[in-house]
Structure 1
Amino acid sequence: MSGAAKLAIYNFGLFVAPYDSPEVEGFRLREPSNFLAAETAQGFIGRSGYDGEPGPESWVQQVFPRFIEGSGFDTAPSSLSLWADLESLMAFSYSGVHADALKHARRWQVERRWPALVLWWTKGRPDWADAVRRFEQLHDQGPGPTAFHFKDPYGPDGERISIDRARELAALNAERHRDFLAHVLSVKV
């Protein structure tokens, strides 16, 4: 992959109980719809899969940030994907199907002592190790051009930017995701 820079996002959390437990069932029931909504969202480019699971190929071996240490878990909920721009990712993240998951996330995940996510611009396909390095960098050093979040965004040129909140991308996604949203609103929290 080359050409114009794409926006990469990595997020990480820890469940309150094992993935197959009743405490995390609401997350598990929503996960397929969240992936489908992302893959059909305006501005979505691609996402890494997970080794040994059906779906897209994994972008190199998945690793986790140091915050997993002492949790009792070997794996944790995390994702790595590419988007066309900040506005597309924000429209997906904070409306519709994914917004419903965020609304209930406190039930399924422990309180974070780390950032929810890290963003950065790339001309290539990111890998898990680079994502984790940037995630820990954001935690340790705060936002900057190579590791930032929505509240303090940077452009591909490394300069601070503002997110164009006037773009109507959430409405485009809402039409595409009507059935996904109906499904997640009907499942157990």
Structure 2
Amino acid sequence: MPVAGSQHLAMYNFGLHVEAYESPAVEGFRLREAANFEAAARAHGFFGRSGYVGEPGTACWGEQVFPRFIEGSGFQTAPSSLSLWADIESLMAFTYSGVHADALKHGRHWNVRQSWPPLVLWWVEAGAVPRWQDGVERLEHLHDYGAGPRAFSFKQPYGSDGQPLEIDRSRIKEIVALNAATQGELLAHVLTLKI
């Protein structure tokens, strides 16, 4: 995993599908999953992600656990991810453009409406690897107490110095262009997939 800068941005997200992962209702999500992981791997500023137990090739960053919002859902597991990024602009460029933007556009078909934050962000020392438990605790903290240096979102970001952060929108556009150059065939593929 590359080490650039003294702090890296950790991201954890969590949602619930409308039906079981294997169901026809969630097929569009399943069909896009590998392309999204590959798009992230090619994205500017991406340092790595946790794998899942039983998934070949990508190490799992600790035992995968889930926030309390899974309770009463009937599910034992739920869609979630844990990753590391150079900065918030790199993560936003990936999230809101290209392959991942296509998945976001159709997410309402596969996921229930959330009463909790869809993701949480926090800073870690360069070289540190967050654990699933860290993401769960910070997502619940963001839900319970709102954004702050410990747990924040794109809407209320904080810098690694603990101060509110001004997002560099022009840098996001530059990164989107860099990513587009490496994701063309992936995007063309996902645009042909069933919703």
Separation (CA, whole Å) in 2 of partners of 1:30 and 1:90: 19
Task: Give the secondary structure class of the aligned counterpart of 2:169.
Answer: coil
1:17 to partner: Cα distance: 0.5
Q: Spell out, residue by residue over 1:45-73, the C-alpha distance to the aligned partner (whole angstroms, 9 max, x if none).
A: 00000011223110000000000001000
- Paired position in structure 2 for 1:15: 17
- Paired position in structure 2 for 1:67: 69
1:179 to partner: Cα distance: 0.5
- Paired position in structure 1 for 2:166: 162
Query: Residue type matched to 2:186 in 1?
Result: F
Normalising to structure 2: TM-score of the pair?
0.95
Matches within 5 A, 1:121-132: 121-123=123-125, 124-132=128-136
Aligned length: 189
Query: Residue type matched to 2:178 in 1?
Result: L
- 2:88 matched to 1:82? no
Structure 1's consecutive aligned runs of 4 or more residues displaced over 6 angstroms after TM superposition are none
- 2:149 matched to 1:149? no
Matches within 5 A, 1:112-123: 112-123=114-125
Give 2:179's match in structure 1, choosing from 149, 169, 173. 173
Separation (CA, whole Å) in 2 of partners of 1:54 and 1:99: 26
1:93 to partner: Cα distance: 0.2
Structure 2: tracts of 5 or more residues without a match = none
Normalising to structure 1: TM-score of the pair?
0.98
- Paired position in structure 2 for 1:184: 190
Give 2:102's match in structure 1, choosing from 100, 103, 125. 100
- Paired position in structure 2 for 1:133: 137
Structure 1: tracts of 5 or more residues without a match = none
Separation (CA, whole Å) in 2 of partners of 1:128 and 1:113: 20
Separation (CA, whole Å) in 2 of partners of 1:137 and 1:131: 10
- Paired position in structure 2 for 1:36: 38
Task: Give the secondary structure class of the aligned counterpart of 1:186.
Answer: coil
Taking only the aligned residue pairs, the percentage that are identical comes to 66
Task: Give the secondary structure class of the aligned counterpart of 1:166.
Answer: helix
1:41 to partner: Cα distance: 0.1
